[in-house]
A = this chain, B = another copy of it.
Amino acid sequence: MPGRFITLEGGEGAGKSTVMERVAQWLEQKGRRVVQTREPGGTELAEKLRDILLDRNNLVLSGTAELLLMFAARAQHLDERIRPALARGDWVLCDRFTDATWAYQGGGRGLPREHIEALETLVHGDLQPDLTLLLDLPVELGLQRASNRSQADRFEGESFEFFQRVREAYLERAAAAPGRFCVIDASRKLEDVWAQIHVVLQERLVS
C-alpha cells in the first residue's frame, strides 16, 4: 500500500502538536509506519533555515527572502525526507506545509499570490497532501493559549490583525480545496477535537 501525506495546519495555539501525537499513535495502532515531521525544518539543514526564519533578531529579513527561504527549506525537506518516506510506503505527518505559506506569507504579509503559486509549482507541482487537517479557532483564543508557552518567535510577535489575516487565508484555502481539507473546530476541548479528527481519519484514510 502506498504511503499517505497528511498535514496539520492552524494558527498559534491551535493545538497541532498534541493532535499530531494522537494521530500518529492511532495510525501506528492501525499498523502504519508513521514519520512525524514539521516545517519549516524536518531535516538538519532545513532546521538551520528554521532557526534563521524564527529568530526574533532577524527583523531585517525581507518578505521575499522569507518566502524563498521557506521554500528552500521545503525543497530540502521534500527531497531528503518526505518523498523517500512516501516512496517506501510510510505515512508522513507534517506540522505545517505550503498552506501555511499561503496563510502567513500570503495572508499575513500580503505577498503576491503569483509568487507563492510559482514557487509551489517549482518545488512540488507534482505532490499535494492527501489530507490536510486545519485546526481552526478564533484568533483571540489561540493567542491566549499560545501566550502560556515559551518566548514568542519572530512570527508570534506579529499583530492581532496579522493573525486575523492568517486565519482568513487558511479558511479560504480550505474552501477552495474541500476534497483535501478538513476544517476542525479547535476551540473545543481536546477530547472533542480528537473525536472530530477520528471520524475524518476513519472515513477518509483507513476505510
Contacts and interface: CB of A to CB of B under 8 A. Distances in A.
Contacts of A46: 65
18 contacts: A43-B60, A45-B52, A45-B58, A45-B60, A49-B52, A62-B75, A62-B79, A62-B80, A64-B122, A65-B75, A65-B76, A68-B68, A68-B69, A68-B72, A69-B69, A72-B72, A115-B122, A118-B118
Interface residues of A, number: 27
Protomer copies: 2
A123 interface: yes
A61 interface: yes
Contacts of A22: none
Interface of A: 43-46, 48-49, 52, 58, 60-62, 64-65, 68-69, 71-73, 75-76, 79-80, 115, 118-119, 122-123
A109 to B, nearest CB: 13
